[in-house]
Structure 1
Amino acid sequence: MDMFNKLTTLFQQALETREPSVNLLDSFVDHWKGITNYYIETTDEAQPVKQTDIPWRLKQMLDILVYEERQQEVEETGPCMEYLLQHKLLETLCTLGKAQYPPGMSQQVLLFFSKLLAQIQKPILHVINKLIRLCGLPDSQTEREESLFLFSVCSRVKKDPSVLNYILETSKEGQPQRCSSVSEEGVEGASGGSSPENSASPSAQSSSQPDTGFIQILVQLGKSQKSRVALRAMESMLLLTSIPQEDTAKLLAEQTPLCDFLAQRVCELYGAIPTTLHPEDIHSYTVKQWRTQSSPVSAEESQSFPAQEHMDRFFRWLDYCDQLIKDAPEVLAVKLAKALHQQWLTGIIEPQLLQMSEVGVLVHTALLSRCVNHTQSAILLHELVHFLLGGDTHREQSTATPPHTHTLRYSLIKHCDHISDEISITTLRLFEELLKKPDKHILTNLVLRNIESRSYRLPVSGGCDERPGTDPDFLEESEEMEEDPFFTESEFSGSEHLLSLSREERKSSTHTQIAETVNSFLCLVPQEAKTSQHVQGAGYDTYVHDALKLLKECSAVSADWGWPDTPKPIEVQSSSSDFYEGHFLKVLLDRISRILEQPYELNLQVTSVLSRLAVFPHPHLHEYLLDPYISLSPGTRSLFSTLVRVIGELMQRIQHIPNFTQRLVTVRKQLMGLEEETVVDHGTLLKGVIVLEEFCKELAAIAFVKLPVGDQEHLSAP
């Protein structure tokens, strides 16, 4: 062991006493001359570069440069690096790579530069513009090496954003600059004055090839059919756009075509999606993340529906743009979002949504719904929302039509009540997706601006709000409901103690009005039109958990919107201030009023949108959609009053349908898959009744979970 230690010490002393710089430089120059001598001595022009010693010599040169830099002080440049720069070895390598001689030389040069950029700290980016121009050419056989090289370039720019001007060849005035062509002088100097045989003149080649910009090359590689190449190119752009310095973001936004290129690509991929897709396939489609490009698609998944490949490509690119906007500084994010708004939303989608073809409207509405669902960046969401709804926040007028109101918003809301049930369902899904997004303007634009003044209520003398719990008319009305044969005590399912309260106890109870609200919705559907007691697991309590989950979701979305906790005081309204619920609520209430004659799927979608609106924690929304006892102003309807009219219509129809309850239970079991589905007379009506019952239970559950926690525990679930 001692002998081994002595030998180790001896070798260490020998290494320390020699002149490493001279030996390293000699070795470095020898390897370079070995490369240039190949061009002088070779006679086989077709021999691939991998069958020569050029790749090995390039690796040795790289290892020497890395070792040398590690031995130097931070600010010093070693003799090998000095030799490389003085003799323009990098420029010469670019020329050799461009000449593609021997065959495959460009790959070796690109790999050498990629590793050099990754392992050398010295700034050398200003000498590689010529090599960048070799990338992204049509029918390139070196896409893999190009993407790796450009990723290395972007990684260096990320560390030192100041060199981006060199890479983009941009002058201070913002005008493109061209680097002067490099001659083969470097090869001549290294090989003793002889030039490589058969190497092409760079000046001649540059005049015949397009000077594609750095950004355009990255976008072009991002379109590659090779998933790894495309992914690395997209990661390279993400490196550039996520640089936090504002001047760099401004440079990319204002002096490069980056945003336009990305938006153009979105338009290309969106335009490739065929309009023969079924809207249900689009609705159930799982959006692919942009980083999953390299994941192979199974044969079963690829055949799930026609044209899925086109959907995958589009949504991956859209997801990529969304991610880029999330990570980019504001000036660049806004520029890209506006480019998408102008080129894709306004230029491509809007004409499709306003066209006469029902098939086209259906497919593009479904696609837009998935786009809204998947958008995560606030800036892109802002553009989507203003594209769909406009920026209006003032009170709507019932007579307002385009151009006095936002054209696309007006058309989409009309589509919710379209002659085509499919278009109505798909458009309602689009609005439901909007209501899930964290953007205050959506609720303001669609609903809140029209109920802000609370003019749906009769003003109360003295300027005080009505309190249903202390109003004699309210108490008399509630007693009448209890005495009605359709509102029996058995419907309260666990709230019997509320019914046993005396009239005076109800007056003093702080939660009486909420209890009455819950029970009013539960008792709204008459006994013979109810099926819950005939089917296991269909009770009211199943909705409480879902309502609580939905409330938490909507409360989290709206937490920072500054909504009031209590309703705004009612002002005395003039006769010119007649209440209008707005186009959106009007269509929803119109649809609910026809629940007994509409298709089952359409009814489900309408009630789903209304339930989400009702669960938002805004006092005016709660009052207008969930309070059965407000005194409505003349000509005004609320959700509850609309449901009451539907029940009145139902009672008339029940008289003409024999065995109504039995048929209703049969249809209920068929919908639940408990019985084989068969044709039943009055099927649409019966399914409408089932949706009506479930909707009333859902509204009751929403009213219940919106109680303060203490009141919930005291009241318990009905």
Structure 2
Amino acid sequence: HGIEFQWHWTAIMKFYTDRNSNSKKPIELTGLAGRLEEMSKILEQEEAELGSENMGPCMEHFLQHKMLEQMSALSRADTPPGIKKCVLVFTTRLLSNSKQVLLPQMGIYTAVQKLIGLCGEVLAAPTEREEAGFLNIVCQKIRADPSILTCFLPTVHEERHRSSIPNGKQPDGSCGDTSALSFPLLRACLTLMESADSDVSTLAAECLILCMSNLGDEVAHYVIAKSNMCSSVILHLVKLYCAIPHTLKAADIDEAVTSWSADTVTSSGSADHQVLAPGKRKLLCFFKWLGFTDTLVELSNAIVGAELGKTFLEDFLQGPLFDDFTKAESEESFLFITSLVTTCLRNLNSKDLVATVGSFLLGEQKGSSASPKDMLLERGRDPNASPQLVLTTLQAFEELLQRPSKEILDSLLLSHLVGRNYQSDVAAEAFDFSDDDQEGLCNRVGKANMSDFEISPGSSPVSRTFAPAQIHRILNCFLMLLPDEIKSCEETDSGYDAYISDAHRQYQDMLAVTDGWEWPSEPVREEPPSAEDDQSSDSQPEADSLHHGYYEGPFLSMLLDRIENMHRQPYDVNLLVTSLISRLALFAHPNLHEYLLNPLLPLAPGARSLFTALLKVVEEIQVAVHGMENLKRKLMLTRNALLNDSGDDSALGDESSVLEAIIVLEEFCKELAAVAFVKYHAAA
């Protein structure tokens, strides 16, 4: 092997020393590519025979004579044209196939450094695919052994030495951004990420993720201070966002996301792009880059991740995205921007970015009196809003509550509930949770057989709010809210057990999410930490309209208004409203719990609760169905159509809306009772 290996190398060198060689010949006509490939095969065959524990004579000769160093020098001149591509392929193959630890070897890493410096020098270079493949294998080796990273990243010592050059002069050709000189691996990745070739940009993005996940804190601070990595990544996201045509509709987002998901699963490159119209393809490009940004934040060193999140907020969310929120005057444009934000939030995995988007949606923005939350609530509470607009608005809040934070709950709900002003002061003095004679709001619902609930409280409940003595009557309030004559199913076929099982699992999940939030076990009566929401433009008129002063806040107000109008709303809206409230009911904050799940709570004059809103809609439904022929049969037909995906209620015409509302209400009450029961058992 050794003689043949040396013969190939000698022939390569002879080409460069021979005066008769034509250096302008294409590489294909010189035989150089074939000789480099033969050298690769010899090294691989030698290692296969000797094993990775022992270094063979050919590899020793290769390292001793620093052949890769000489190859990298030939690549710089790219003479004959195409030798750079051949050397990149040779080096990628060497590093990829050899089990030897080669990168730390002096003759290897110095040559690799020089080759990295040749990558990404210009956009759309003929060798960019080979450059991306080469960078990728280098970064994979770094991931396998993070200590190798020191060979390719600047150290603080080097930077101090660089900054100590007399008069602060830099070498010719340099610019203010020293990352191009001292951090070629980062520069190459950032340049190749801009490639129009999706395979190249994807590989370069993977390289950047691998690099950033292996950084130590010292180098991470350097990246932030001395490179434009964070701003480059987010600037590209902004460019892709701004390229999305304004003519697209909210429905187009689903098609782009479906294509994005399929592309992620199949890794089929650009094949899926061809089925999309140009505008939707631009939308897909934006979502793909958002996915990359999300992964980069999630996997990077925490210092870099935090800076990326900050740049994401300032340069993207508070910039073009907020501008589009404020400029969305037509319903179609607001539908699109709201759907886009919801889809972004749904597809983010990084906790930092999820929290950043949540803060953006709920918080005040610089130079604006309104937050995105205010704009969403204004449209969601508009009685004249189209069902699609209401649905889209509710979906945005649903997504926020899928991965909630303490700040989200405080902003939307608790700042309006911790004062406990919804409770009657007079009645509260006499109100006792163990008083079974207390009729409250449930004096009309009667008593039911509760033997199925198997209630066995402990001797001392953890919380009398979550485990009240009159739990039977609380459950009765929900389960018997609908009169028998307008129920669609018998109690024996209620499906209640399934709700209990689901509620138990969901409550355990919610307790895990809220662990460490330090919520009290009993209701608190205190001034909210901030009264800003009460003074906002959309809440103050409502507060003024209530003589007794209590206002549940714009978010709860929107949900209760929707509950009271269930019989006038489409099925999809009712389903989402009840789903949102069921999720809120799972939270273990005592004020929120009693407001949503204690029908016996004495309310302040003029205040309403979830139960009073339910009572109101049930009373209006009873009036609406009065005298309706074959009511039970129509309810069964509607139930089958909605719950079992069989049957068709379209023949019911105008009656379908109120019949569907009854079915949703019936199931919603079972769900609320199940949540109250599960929380009772957990606290008893």
CA–CA distance in 2 between the matches of 1:577 and 1:690? 35
CA–CA distance in 2 between the matches of 1:258 and 1:315? 20
Match of 1:565 in 2: 521
1:121 aligns with 2:99: no
Match of 1:375 in 2: 348
1:150 aligns with 2:99: no
1:159 aligns with 2:147: yes
1:231-246 matches, within 5 Å, as: 231-246=202-217
C-alpha deviation, 1:228, in angstroms: 4.2
Q: CA offsets per residue over residues 671-710 of structure 1, 9 Å max, x none? A: 3443233252333223223222222222122212222269
- Change in Cα spacing, 1:217 to 1:361, as seen in structure 2 (3 Å) is farther
Q: Is residue 548–residue 605 contact of structure 2 (8 Å, CA) maintained in 1? A: no
**TM-score normalised over the length of structure 1:** 0.74
Match of 2:479 in 1: 522
- Change in Cα spacing, 1:296 to 1:54, as seen in structure 2 (3 Å) is closer
Match of 1:194 in 2: none
Q: Is residue 244–residue 329 contact of structure 1 (8 Å, CA) maintained in 2? A: yes
1:92-491 matches, within 5 Å, as: 93-94=71-72, 96-114=74-92, 119-123=102-106, 125=109, 131-136=115-120, 137-154=122-139, 158-165=146-153, 171-172=159-160, 214-224=185-195, 226-274=197-245, 279=250, 282=253, 285-286=257-258, 288=260, 292=264, 295-296=267-268, 309-354=281-326, 355-390=328-363, 406-418=370-382, 419-459=385-425, 466-470=431-435, 472=437, 474-475=438-439, 478=442, 480-482=444-446, 489=448
Match of 1:553 in 2: 509
- Change in Cα spacing, 1:526 to 1:519, as seen in structure 2 (3 Å) is same
Specify which of 638, 657, 672 is matched with residue 684 of structure 1: 657
CA–CA distance in 2 between the matches of 1:122 and 1:699? 67
Structure 1 vs Structure 2: percent identity of aligned residues? 29
- Change in Cα spacing, 1:294 to 1:104, as seen in structure 2 (3 Å) is farther
CA–CA distance in 1 between the matches of 2:407 and 2:378? 20
Q: CA offsets per residue over residues 501-557 of structure 1, 9 Å max, x none? A: xxxxxxxxx8652221111111111222211239x9654334333323332332222
Residues 232-241 or 625-634, more deviating: 232-241
CA–CA distance in 2 between the matches of 1:111 and 1:57? 9
C-alpha deviation, 1:266, in angstroms: 1.9
State the SS of the aligned residue for 2:680.
Answer: coil
Q: Which amino acid aligns with 1:596?
A: H
C-alpha deviation, 1:428, in angstroms: 0.6
- Change in Cα spacing, 1:444 to 1:173, as seen in structure 2 (3 Å) is farther
- Change in Cα spacing, 1:57 to 1:130, as seen in structure 2 (3 Å) is closer
C-alpha deviation, 1:320, in angstroms: 2.1
C-alpha deviation, 1:362, in angstroms: 0.9
C-alpha deviation, 1:79, in angstroms: 8.5
Unaligned stretches of 5+ residues in structure 1: 1-14, 182-202, 204-208, 393-401, 483-487, 499-509, 712-718
CA–CA distance in 2 between the matches of 1:403 and 1:379? 24
State the SS of the aligned residue for 1:334.
Answer: helix
Q: Is residue 475–residue 673 contact of structure 2 (8 Å, CA) maintained in 1? A: yes
Q: Is residue 171–residue 177 contact of structure 1 (8 Å, CA) maintained in 2? A: no
Q: Is residue 458–residue 631 contact of structure 1 (8 Å, CA) maintained in 2? A: yes
CA–CA distance in 2 between the matches of 1:301 and 1:705? 48
Higher Cα radius of gyration: 1
- Change in Cα spacing, 1:563 to 1:286, as seen in structure 2 (3 Å) is farther
CA–CA distance in 1 between the matches of 2:221 and 2:293? 17
CA–CA distance in 2 between the matches of 1:545 and 1:627? 21
CA–CA distance in 1 between the matches of 2:483 and 2:518? 40
Match of 2:500 in 1: 544
Q: Is residue 49–residue 105 contact of structure 1 (8 Å, CA) maintained in 2? A: no
C-alpha deviation, 1:252, in angstroms: 1.4
Q: CA offsets per residue over residues 84-109 of structure 1, 9 Å max, x none? A: 49xxx73x644532443323211112
CA–CA distance in 1 between the matches of 2:157 and 2:171? 7
Match of 1:586 in 2: 557
C-alpha deviation, 1:352, in angstroms: 2.1
- Change in Cα spacing, 1:275 to 1:546, as seen in structure 2 (3 Å) is farther
Match of 2:27 in 1: 48
Q: CA offsets per residue over residues 321-349 of structure 1, 9 Å max, x none? A: 22221222222111111111122212222
Q: Which amino acid aligns with 2:386?
A: S
Unaligned stretches of 5+ residues in structure 2: 97-101, 175-179, 456-466, 528-545
Q: CA offsets per residue over residues 294-337 of structure 1, 9 Å max, x none? A: 72289899759996644543333222222221222222111111
Q: Is residue 530–residue 693 contact of structure 1 (8 Å, CA) maintained in 2? A: yes
Match of 2:531 in 1: none
Q: Which amino acid aligns with 1:235?
A: E
What is the count of residue pairs matched by the alignment? 623
Q: Is residue 228–residue 294 contact of structure 1 (8 Å, CA) maintained in 2? A: no
Match of 1:705 in 2: 678
Residues 315-324 or 575-584, more deviating: 575-584
Specify which of 33, 54, 64 is matched with residue 13 of structure 2: 33
C-alpha deviation, 1:241, in angstroms: 0.7
Match of 1:533 in 2: 490
CA–CA distance in 1 between the matches of 2:323 and 2:308? 21
CA–CA distance in 2 between the matches of 1:299 and 1:115? 27
Q: Which amino acid aligns with 1:545?
A: S
- Change in Cα spacing, 1:465 to 1:307, as seen in structure 2 (3 Å) is farther
- Change in Cα spacing, 1:294 to 1:97, as seen in structure 2 (3 Å) is farther
**TM-score normalised over the length of structure 2:** 0.78
Q: Is residue 368–residue 430 contact of structure 1 (8 Å, CA) maintained in 2? A: yes
Match of 1:200 in 2: none
CA–CA distance in 2 between the matches of 1:324 and 1:304? 27
State the SS of the aligned residue for 2:403.
Answer: coil
CA–CA distance in 2 between the matches of 1:288 and 1:642? 42
Specify which of 587, 595, 600 is matched with residue 616 of structure 1: 587
Q: Is residue 511–residue 587 contact of structure 2 (8 Å, CA) maintained in 1? A: yes
Residues 320-329 or 670-679, more deviating: 670-679
Q: Is residue 240–residue 286 contact of structure 2 (8 Å, CA) maintained in 1? A: yes
Q: Is residue 129–residue 167 contact of structure 1 (8 Å, CA) maintained in 2? A: no
Residues 261-270 or 444-453, more deviating: 261-270
Q: CA offsets per residue over residues 155-191 of structure 1, 9 Å max, x none? A: 566434444455999843887997779xxxxxxxxxx
State the SS of the aligned residue for 2:343.
Answer: helix
C-alpha deviation, 1:593, in angstroms: 1.3
State the SS of the aligned residue for 1:453.
Answer: coil
- Change in Cα spacing, 1:549 to 1:389, as seen in structure 2 (3 Å) is same
Q: Is residue 62–residue 116 contact of structure 1 (8 Å, CA) maintained in 2? A: no
Q: What root-mean-square deviation, in Å, do the aligned CA atoms of Structure 1 and Structure 2 show?
A: 4.5
Q: Is residue 309–residue 353 contact of structure 2 (8 Å, CA) maintained in 1? A: yes
C-alpha deviation, 1:220, in angstroms: 3.6
- Change in Cα spacing, 1:275 to 1:385, as seen in structure 2 (3 Å) is same
- Change in Cα spacing, 1:174 to 1:578, as seen in structure 2 (3 Å) is farther
CA–CA distance in 1 between the matches of 2:566 and 2:228? 52
Specify which of 464, 470, 492 is matched with residue 513 of structure 1: 470
